């Protein structure tokens, strides 16, 4: 699947966003190493801390289905560029430190690496020791 197709799926997913407080609708499309796609949207909550971003929604769906290997994620917020927030960056690092992140600015697709967006990401190994 190419970047344009993945971004189009993220844009389509935006329609299901639940964002009554901010009005900021975000969609994500996560591509696995095997070529499967999982979409997600931002879901706001009256208890703001319970809000979940589109990127994490897509990851949670995929991980809950047994996926563990990811190659790219597209994030769409309409006319605004949506770059993953800090929590999403660290969340993605846990499962895909080399993931490609696709966004759009002024009608042009942009490619980011997670290393660019989170230069000091970290993971713990199974023993709880710092790894990365």
Give the catalytic positions in this structure.
55
Q: Is the backbone of residue 59 left (phi > 0), alpha (psi -120 to 50) or beta?
A: alpha
Distance, CA of 102 to CA of 36 (rounded, Å): 16
Contact 60, 38 (CB under 8 A): no
H runs (alpha helix) in the chain? 3-13, 54-64, 86-95, 114-117
Distance, CA of 62 to CA of 32 (rounded, Å): 8
Facing residues of 94 across strands? none
């Amino acid at each position: 699947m190419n970047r344009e197709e993945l971004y189009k799926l993220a844009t389509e997913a935006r329609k299901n966003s639940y964002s009554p407080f901010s009005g900021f609708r975000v969609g994500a499309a996560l591509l696995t190493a095997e070529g499967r796609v999982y979409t997600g949207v931002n879901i706001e909550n009256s208890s703001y801390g319970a809000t979940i971003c589109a990127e994490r929604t897509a990851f949670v769906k995929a991980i809950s289905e047994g996926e563990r290997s990811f190659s790219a994620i597209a994030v769409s917020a309409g006319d605004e560029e949506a770059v993953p927030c800090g929590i999403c960056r660290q969340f993605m690092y846990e499962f895909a430190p080399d993931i490609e992140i696709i966004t759009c600015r002024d009608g042009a697709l942009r490619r980011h690496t997670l290393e660019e967006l989170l230069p000091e990401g970290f993971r713990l190994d199974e023993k709880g020791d710092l790894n990365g």
